[in-house]
């Protein structure tokens, strides 16, 4: 199952709105157990993982075990049900990690397999598989994408400076790691303040991964995104969605739309600003299952206030920004605090001189 989870990870961020699933067929041979087929959900979401693994296994699938990270589908969607392919191939045992909450599946996949006499085990390595399926699980269960907030803080707990564009807090290794996060998500988002100050491209520039650049999203209530910005100017190459408040200046919206920027109007919240929950729902309706939020402080704090952050990637460096830098918003510092916070540490990594801590929102009991 660990191998299937790693396999699924390869297409993370590249299969939306489908999840990236990993499937491995293991057969008993004269020399012991061996892998005879591997499959990962194809780019764009289809074909699913299982038929690919079964095709690779061919006749060796007869009597074999299938390890799969998500409950195989039982519905006639765009593709025929995976359970039928599994039964037809002669698989005798299915080991799965996560049950599919998609209402079209939701237990029916396992039930169909069991009815065909296949031994079914589920819940194996569930937490690590669910990590890679977090976008699908959030979209189906919550109707919004999974939200990962990326933050870089200096030794004096600053996350940037109002007067300096693209202030480097972390080093090149940490920044490459952050680009990998972009490659693994469906969309990368910033607030309009960050878009104006940094004029970011928000693309993936890692060698070999340029095609993995996610959809770029701006929280931009008043449609302030500049037509001359890098985002607007490259909208025809890599999608840009501008989340504007209903009633935003139609001329500004039209100028951006003419450049290929997709204008997505969203209701205003009680505070008169963009309703962030509605904005995320609109993204999910458009097939986006995961969002990496990269800044700035204001959007991060606003998401935290509405309890819309599922995970945080906190990079910490020894750089000193100085007292006039932007402080890590208090609400985030409190949420990430070791005692009394609302997030748990899910992993730690070292990138050059910088540290990365991954936090997951603590599950509500």
> According to the annotation, is 198 in a ligand binding site?
yes
In the numeric block, the tokens 């989340």 are attached to 243
> Who's near 46: CB < 8 A, 6+ residues apart?
18, 78, 79
Q: Which residue is nearest to ligand AOF, using beta carbons?
A: 77
- Smallest gap, in angstroms, from Cβ of residue 78 to Zn ion? 10
> Who's near 160: CB < 8 A, 6+ residues apart?
167, 169, 295, 296, 297, 321, 325, 326
196 counts as catalytic: no
78 contact choice in ligand AOF, Zn ion, none (CB below 5 to 8 Å, kind-dependent): ligand AOF
- Smallest gap, in angstroms, from Cβ of residue 22 to ligand AOF? 8
102 contact choice in ligand AOF, Zn ion, none (CB below 5 to 8 Å, kind-dependent): ligand AOF
Q: At what angle do helices 82-89 and 108-115 cross, to 10 degrees?
A: 20
Q: Both tokens of residue 110? A: 């396992």
> According to the annotation, is 271 in a ligand binding site?
no
Nearest one of 285, 309, 284, 289 to 299, comparing CA atoms? 309
Q: At what angle do helices 49-57 and 82-89 cross, to 10 degrees?
A: 20
- Smallest gap, in angstroms, from Cβ of residue 300 to ligand AOF? 29
- In the beta sheet, which residues pair with residue 357? 314, 348
Which of 50, 71, 184, 316 is catalytic? The answer is 50
- Smallest gap, in angstroms, from Cβ of residue 72 to Zn ion? 6
Alpha-helical (H) ranges within the chain are 2-9, 49-57, 82-89, 108-115, 126-132, 134-142, 172-183, 192-198, 230-233, 250-258, 276-285, 297-305, 330-336
Our CB check for ligand AOF shows the closer of 46 and 205 to be 46
Q: What is the DSSP letter of 60?
A: G
220 contact choice in Zn ion, ligand AOF, none (CB below 5 to 8 Å, kind-dependent): none
> According to the annotation, is 298 in a ligand binding site?
yes
Our CB check for ligand AOF shows the closer of 78 and 345 to be 78
> Who's near 80: CB < 8 A, 6+ residues apart?
none
End-to-end CA distance of the chain: 27
> What's the gap between Cα 212 and its chain centre?
12
Q: Which residues bind ligand AOF (CB under 6 A)?
A: 18-19, 21, 41, 45-46, 48-50, 70, 72-73, 77-79, 82, 100, 102, 105
Q: Give the full edge-to-edge strand order of the sheet including 187-191.
A: 262-266, 240-245, 215-219, 187-191, 290-295, 146-153, 311-316, 354-361, 343-351
Our CB check for ligand AOF shows the closer of 46 and 236 to be 46
The answer to whether 73 contacts Zn ion (rule: CB under 5 A) is: yes
Our CB check for Zn ion shows the closer of 79 and 342 to be 79
- Smallest gap, in angstroms, from Cβ of residue 21 to ligand AOF? 3
Of 4, 23, 82, 169, the one binding Zn ion by CB under 5 A: 82
Of 48, 112, 136, 252, the one binding Zn ion by CB under 5 A: 48
- Smallest gap, in angstroms, from Cβ of residue 141 to Zn ion? 19
- Binding site per annotation, positions for substrate: 182, 202, 205, 294
- Binding site per annotation, positions: 48, 73, 82, 152, 182, 194, 198, 202, 205, 294, 296-302
- Site residues for Zn ion per CB under 5 A: 48, 73, 82
- Binding site per annotation, positions for Zn(2+): 48, 73, 82
Q: Which residues carry out catalysis? A: 50
- Binding site per annotation, positions for NADP(+): 152, 194, 198, 296-302
């Amino acid at each position: 199952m660990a191998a299937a989870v790693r396999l699924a990870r390869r297409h993370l961020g590249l299969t939306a709105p489908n999840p990236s699933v990993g499937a491995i067929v293991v057969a008993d041979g004269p020399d012991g157990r061996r892998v005879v087929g591997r499959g990962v959900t194809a780019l764009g979401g289809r074909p699913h993982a299982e038929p690919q693994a079964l095709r690779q296994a061919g006749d060796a699938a007869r009597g074999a075990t299938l390890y799969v990270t998500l409950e195989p589908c039982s519905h006639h969607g765009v593709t025929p049900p995976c359970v039928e392919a599994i039964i037809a191939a002669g698989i005798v045992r299915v080991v799965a990690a996560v049950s599919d909450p998609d209402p079209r599946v939701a237990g029916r996949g396992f039930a169909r397999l069991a009815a065909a006499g296949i031994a079914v085990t589920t819940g194996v390595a569930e937490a690590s598989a669910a990590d890679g399926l977090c976008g699908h699980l959030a979209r189906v269960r919550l109707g919004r994408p999974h939200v990962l907030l990326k933050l870089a803080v200096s030794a004096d707990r600053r996350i940037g400076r109002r007067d300096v564009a693209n202030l480097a807090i972390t080093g090149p290794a940490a920044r490459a790691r952050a680009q990998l996060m972009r490659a693994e998500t469906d969309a990368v988002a910033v607030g309009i303040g960050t878009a104006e100050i940094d004029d970011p491209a928000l693309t993936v520039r890692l060698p070999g991964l340029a095609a993995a650049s996610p959809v770029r999203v701006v929280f931009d209530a008043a449609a302030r995104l500049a037509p001359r910005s890098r985002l607007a100017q490259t909208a025809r190459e890599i999608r840009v969605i501008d989340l504007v408040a209903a009633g935003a200046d139609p001329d500004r919206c039209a100028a951006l739309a003419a450049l290929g920027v997709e204008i997505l109007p969203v209701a205003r919240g009680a505070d008169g600003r963009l309703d962030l929950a509605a904005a995320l729902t609109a993204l999910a309706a458009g097939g986006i299952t995961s969002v990496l939020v990269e800044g700035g402080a204001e959007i991060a704090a606003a998401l935290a206030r509405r309890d819309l952050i599922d995970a945080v990637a906190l990079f910490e460096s020894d750089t000193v920004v100085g007292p006039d830098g932007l402080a890590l918003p208090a609400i985030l510092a409190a949420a990430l605090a070791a005692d009394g916070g609302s997030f748990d540490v899910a992993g730690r990594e070292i990138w050059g001189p910088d540290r990365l801590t991954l936090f997951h929102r603590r599950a509500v009991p």
